[in-house]
Structure 1
Amino acid sequence: MALINLRNLGVTLGAPLFSNLNLALETGDRIGVVAANGRGKSTLLRSIAGTVEPTAGDIMRGRGLRIGHVAQDIPAGLMGTPFREAVCQALSVAEIEAEAWRADVVLDSLDVPQALRVLPLGRLSGGWQRLAMLARAWVADPDVLLLDEPTNHLDLARISQLEDWLNSLPRNAAVVIASHDRAFLDATTNRTLFLRPIASEVFSLPYARARVALDEIDASQERRYQRDMKMAQQLRRQAAKLNNIAVNSGSDLLTVKTKQLKQKAGRLEDGARPAHQERSAGAIKLANRGTHAKVLVSFDDAQVETPDGKLLFRTGKRWICQGDRIVLLGRNGAGKSRFVSLLKETIARPEAATEAIKVTPSLVLGHSDQGLAELADGDTPAGTISRRFEVGDQRARALLAGAGLDIDLQNRAVGNLSGGQKARLAMLVLRLTNPNFYLLDEPTNHLDIDGQEALEGELADQQASCLLVSHDRSFVRAVGNRFWLIEGRRLIELESAEPFFASVAGGRT
């Protein structure tokens, strides 16, 4: 018997997020939920958890079923609570008195250091806060675990750890994961639900293989639609010819035949359904103004240091050339952020450049950091574009609409936008900057899979030169053509990112 049955489930918020969804969640299922930003993934998980009432359909849960739900947001009321205590609070009073050890077992399984367990959640990184919420959900021994974007704020080592942790869970537990991390979905799921307003598709396959199957279904459906519509047009042309003959000859038989042809054409048109077209969350486009310089940046054994002067690593002799898409790899604390900051400051203030770092005078920087700090929360999208770029109000609004920010969002405070909306605004700012070199720190944060693939395509199509930091393995594999690794206080070059990925998975610290 299924743990949870969804029958003809639907949620409508102005327009349908999903409808007529039928899904049986069985023991051992590891289901990945895939959809664009704002298309119902979080709503579906909340519906299953029982915190949101669906618009239509039924959810049948097994008697006594325990559901653990890890939402994207950390409850503000927990920020002052110590890590271990926040986990214990998920237990009943009786369980806390007799079985508080369960919290320690879960924290041990997630490799939470003892020193962190006594710290308030508000003093911890976003990644540790996410793991605290996961521990709170699992300590209650749920039958079903619902995870909403669980890799947000996690570095590669923690993502790999989470993959191992999920894959080691008891097989009688079911897990549903809403995520835009394609590599993570491939590593942790055995079924994939593509959530759609109409006719969601479910495959007993992990993401990559399910995506191929979905594309084949969509392509086949589109061919069938075009064939049926072409046939309907031919029937209507035949009917028109017969009708003319019938009128001229007065033949009742031809009149009946004409009617039959029109009815057949109508049935074909009524039954034809075009292939699903994902409603875009906003276009992502980049620009490349180009440069005649072959070498954009050169490093002559530059030192990268902490703010207090401690050496993190030396670059050795390195060059960033036109067309390079360099991925900067390294474990947490190795100095990736400091290197990016140093490079950004050197480009922004050429007069402060040293012999160790030289930048071609024609370089124009496009920079985006993972926190999108260059977007002012108190500003509006319309103000952001019109004040930074000489495009005019009408053009600014058209550009924003093309990026997925309609008129209702254009005058809303940036701080009130969703993560996906902010990310697309940041991509528009990058495009209008018209750079010839991109410095990107976690650029896929908050982008859905459609947005990630669009960004990958733009970087390749524009032949953009860039240096980027990313924990998204699928993005790194698709974009990078050079790979720099910070290791042993040195910057070394790898042929691919795979050795680093393997080392993180095999020896996390």
Structure 2
Amino acid sequence: MITLKNVTLRRGAKVLLNGVNATINPGEKVGLVGRNGAGKSSLFALLNGTLHEDGGDFYIPTQWRMAQVAQNMPETDEPATAFVVAGDTRLNDLQAELAKAEAADDGMAIAHAYTDLADAGAHDAEPRAQALILGLGFKVSELDKPVNSFSGGWRMRLQLARALMCPSDLLLLDEPTNHLDLDALVWLEAWLKRYEGTMIVISHDREFLDAVTNVTMHIDNAQITRYGGNYSKFEDLRAQQLELQQASFSKQQEKIAHLKKFIDRFKAKASKAKQAQSRVKALDRMEKIAPVLADAEFTFEFKEPQNLPNPMLAISDAAFGYRSEDGAQTTILENVSRSVLAGQRIGILGANGQGKSTLVKTIARTMAPLAGTVTEGKGLSIGYFAQQELDVLRPHENPLEHMIRLARELGPNSREPSREQDLRSYLGTFNFTGDMVKQSVGSMSGGEKARLVLAMIVWQRPNLLLLDEPTNHLDLATREALSMALNEFEGTVMLVSHDRALLRAVCDEFWMVGRGAVGPFDGDLDDYQRYLLEEAKRQRELAKLEAAADSAALKAGAALAPVATVAAATIAPVSIAASADQSSVKGQNDAKPAVDAKEQRKQDAQARQQLAERTRPLKRELEQIDKRLSALLAERTDLEQRLTQPLPPADIADLGRRLKAGHDETARLEERWLEISAELEEMGVSASA
């Protein structure tokens, strides 16, 4: 188990953990929660050895294997499957040992290496890696694409797959859901439920924590409190604890007031002075129970819109997509006809890449429709939260400069004060205080950027909110504040999010974006999760059918190739012969064929016979290679089976040498098999014919 005994942990001068005692048992699934900056990631750094305790005792079993998602963006041209397979560190080490043993011609070491590789699952490493990649939302056609060809979010998914590929006793996951859509999120939950090791996860997704954890550890005021149960259970227990604490605090305050009143009343009287002094000592000794006050909870509200046009907008026979620099169009959604009314709460569902962001960007006026019309209601004011905050933020500017520019753009139409001091005060309500208003946006955290975007949106007093993944960098408390603000907002909300708790709390209807269309989704989020599982199954079946069709097409092409080749080999000489015959025989009937059908069949038969004589020895060699490869496979299986049993050292070394020899012969035969197959294909004959 993992134990912390009186552990103190600092980052610089800040004490993150102070005299903490905690235990994590093998096999537990722990949700680590607390405010941003409370020390969650620092505790992860302690667990993985990046940081060391400043006091106390920390213990983690030395034999435990640890897996963690790398936070750096991978930069490599390695194929996606190979990149994820490399996450299996045990497999990598064993393959290096095998190479070293083969270089030294150490038969015993070779035998051990082959046995260990079999135990480590070397035979199915690629299928396991591809299952992880496909589960996280990639397509079959992307399995062998270079890692660098994917966008940042998809590369981080590959980092997650790589971590899941690594065999581990302890799995550390820091915000694993940030780059996932709902279908990948549902798959990940199912995978983590089957994980047999100890898991510690940091997440701001309430439903994800509820699904995969059974213990919650809360970091607050440099202490860790352990709660049995998932996040919802923790909230209930925490609320009860705070209620009891508040009641105790109230009683204590009454007692303190009573003592102070007695002291003030009688401290000047000689007859009561001794009693008053004892009350002073009692007051000093009394344990101070901390008042239950929220630690500067981040809360905000959307101001009442200046007007509410109805309908907000109408989309008619529209096509949405992209235009390239050369004017070429890529249509993603077509035949879109929808209307948005005042007061609607619309959740936009659909897998990544289906067009959700394209729909939102077009409504937000950052992209133009390719066809059709988008008619806006009079007085429509849009507040747009982009999935990538930097789409609307300028990295080199600070929050105050953003607000000053926004005030100038709105000009006299804005009812909000625009003096610099007013803007500073306004930013302060979004926790941008002191020097933070002059800090460049490019140096801010994701959560700070998200707060700035929200501040800019609220200040504009919109009547239509377009929110594209607004919670990606928000902690649980801020997500709760956003949910409350959206529910009190009097305008219209269109929300794209993988945060199911937010979707459930805010939206009362859903649109589905997929297969090039936009339409209503008749159901709730539970229905949508079932739909995602069915859609994933449909996609897998479709991929199998496509693969089978491609294979059939290749076989058909291989079968037609010999016919075309033979025809080319026979027709050309016949044409020459016909030309010679016609030039040498004059006066004959021009309609008479130069070569009759009998002669044609004779020449075709001769060509086939010549081709068969040329390919016969090659095909015979292929058959012999196939037989030998089958025998080598059976021999290897037998040798590996014998290595699992106790044997004298000399026998183990002999088996290792035989395995190495069989491996080398297999490699030579497979190379020769490919050479012969290529030679037969050049002749227009299939290797399997």
What TM-score do the two structures reach when normalised by structure 1?
Answer: 0.88
Alpha carbons of structure 1 residues 501 and 462: separation in structure 2 relative to 1, 3 Å: same
**Aligned counterpart, 1:261:** 279
Larger radius of gyration: 2
Give the letter for the 1:242 counterpart.
F
Give the letter for the 1:294 counterpart.
N
Give the letter for the 2:199 counterpart.
V
Structure 2 gap segments, 5+ residues each: 99-116, 324-328, 409-417, 540-689
State which of 392, 395, 398 in structure 2 corresponds to 1:377: 395
**Aligned counterpart, 1:152:** 178
> Does residue 314 of the first structure (1) align with residue 335 of the second (2)?
yes
Contact map agreement 1:243 1:255 (CA 8 A) in 2 = yes
State which of 302, 312, 323 in structure 2 corresponds to 1:296: 312
Q: Which has the higher helix share?
A: 2
> Does residue 135 of the first structure (1) align with residue 132 of the second (2)?
no
How far did residue 476 of structure 1 move? 0.3
**Aligned counterpart, 2:527:** 499
What is the distance in 1 between the residues matched to 2:480 and 2:283? 39
How far did residue 507 of structure 1 move? 4.2
How far did residue 69 of structure 1 move? 1.8
How far did residue 501 of structure 1 move? 2.5
How far did residue 340 of structure 1 move? 1.1
Deviation by residue 1:191-250 (Cα, 9 ceiling, x = unmatched): 111211244322111111211111221122122112212211111102222334xx2xx4
**Aligned counterpart, 2:237:** 213
**Aligned counterpart, 2:653:** none
Give the letter for the 1:263 counterpart.
K
Give the secondary structure class of the aligned counterpart of 1:485. strand
What is the distance in 2 between the residues matched to 1:114 and 1:177? 29
**Aligned counterpart, 1:190:** 214
Alpha carbons of structure 1 residues 294 and 94: separation in structure 2 relative to 1, 3 Å: closer
How far did residue 354 of structure 1 move? 8.6
Alpha carbons of structure 1 residues 109 and 7: separation in structure 2 relative to 1, 3 Å: farther
Give the secondary structure class of the aligned counterpart of 1:339. helix
Give the secondary structure class of the aligned counterpart of 1:86. helix
What is the distance in 2 between the residues matched to 1:455 and 1:387? 25
Contact map agreement 1:74 1:129 (CA 8 A) in 2 = no
**Aligned counterpart, 2:406:** 388
My pick for the range that moved more, 329-338 or 353-362, is 353-362
How far did residue 102 of structure 1 move? 6.3
Deviation by residue 1:63-122 (Cα, 9 ceiling, x = unmatched): 322211224x2255x444443443344426542355455642541341435643433333
**Aligned counterpart, 1:8:** 6
Alpha carbons of structure 1 residues 57 and 126: separation in structure 2 relative to 1, 3 Å: farther
My pick for the range that moved more, 432-441 or 303-312, is 303-312
* Identical pairs, percent: 27
Give the letter for the 2:425 counterpart.
A
Alpha carbons of structure 1 residues 275 and 20: separation in structure 2 relative to 1, 3 Å: farther
What is the distance in 2 between the residues matched to 1:135 and 1:95? 21
**Aligned counterpart, 1:107:** 129
Alpha carbons of structure 1 residues 313 and 17: separation in structure 2 relative to 1, 3 Å: farther
**Aligned counterpart, 1:400:** 427
User: After superposition, where does 1:483-494 map in structure 2 within 5 Å?
Assistant: 483-487=510-514, 489-494=517-522
Give the secondary structure class of the aligned counterpart of 1:327. strand
What is the distance in 1 between the residues matched to 2:500 and 2:321? 27
Alpha carbons of structure 1 residues 118 and 8: separation in structure 2 relative to 1, 3 Å: farther
What is the distance in 1 between the residues matched to 2:79 and 2:20? 40
**Aligned counterpart, 2:194:** 168
My pick for the range that moved more, 221-230 or 390-399, is 390-399
Deviation by residue 1:427-465 (Cα, 9 ceiling, x = unmatched): 111111221111111111101111111111111123231
Deviation by residue 1:169-212 (Cα, 9 ceiling, x = unmatched): 22xx1010001011111111111112112443221111112111
Give the letter for the 2:264 counterpart.
A
How far did residue 10 of structure 1 move? 3.3
Instruction: Report the count of equivalent residues.
Output: 491
Contact map agreement 1:313 1:491 (CA 8 A) in 2 = no
How far did residue 287 of structure 1 move? 2.6
Alpha carbons of structure 1 residues 26 and 131: separation in structure 2 relative to 1, 3 Å: farther
Deviation by residue 1:140-168 (Cα, 9 ceiling, x = unmatched): 42110000000111111111111111112
What is the distance in 2 between the residues matched to 1:226 and 1:338? 54
Contact map agreement 1:88 1:96 (CA 8 A) in 2 = no
Alpha carbons of structure 1 residues 16 and 401: separation in structure 2 relative to 1, 3 Å: farther
How far did residue 19 of structure 1 move? 2.8
What is the distance in 1 between the residues matched to 2:159 and 2:8? 28
Structure 1 gap segments, 5+ residues each: none
> Does residue 474 of the first structure (1) align with residue 501 of the second (2)?
yes
How far did residue 482 of structure 1 move? 2.1
What is the distance in 2 between the residues matched to 1:212 and 1:464? 32
What is the distance in 1 between the residues matched to 2:149 and 2:210? 32
Give the secondary structure class of the aligned counterpart of 1:226. helix
Alpha carbons of structure 1 residues 6 and 105: separation in structure 2 relative to 1, 3 Å: farther
How far did residue 127 of structure 1 move? 4.3
My pick for the range that moved more, 325-334 or 120-129, is 120-129
Alpha carbons of structure 1 residues 195 and 122: separation in structure 2 relative to 1, 3 Å: farther
Alpha carbons of structure 1 residues 6 and 129: separation in structure 2 relative to 1, 3 Å: farther
> Does residue 56 of the first structure (1) align with residue 78 of the second (2)?
no
Give the letter for the 1:312 counterpart.
L
How far did residue 59 of structure 1 move? 1.7
Contact map agreement 1:284 1:427 (CA 8 A) in 2 = no
What is the distance in 2 between the residues matched to 1:403 and 1:175? 34
Deviation by residue 1:31-67 (Cα, 9 ceiling, x = unmatched): 0111222322211111111112233333201132221
User: After superposition, where does 1:59-138 map in structure 2 within 5 Å?
Assistant: 59-71=58-70, 73-75=71-73, 78-90=75-87, 91=89, 93-97=92-96, 99=117, 101=123, 103-112=125-134, 115-138=141-164
How far did residue 311 of structure 1 move? 5.6
Give the letter for the 2:201 counterpart.
I
State which of 319, 323, 326 in structure 1 corresponds to 2:343: 323
Give the letter for the 1:459 counterpart.
L
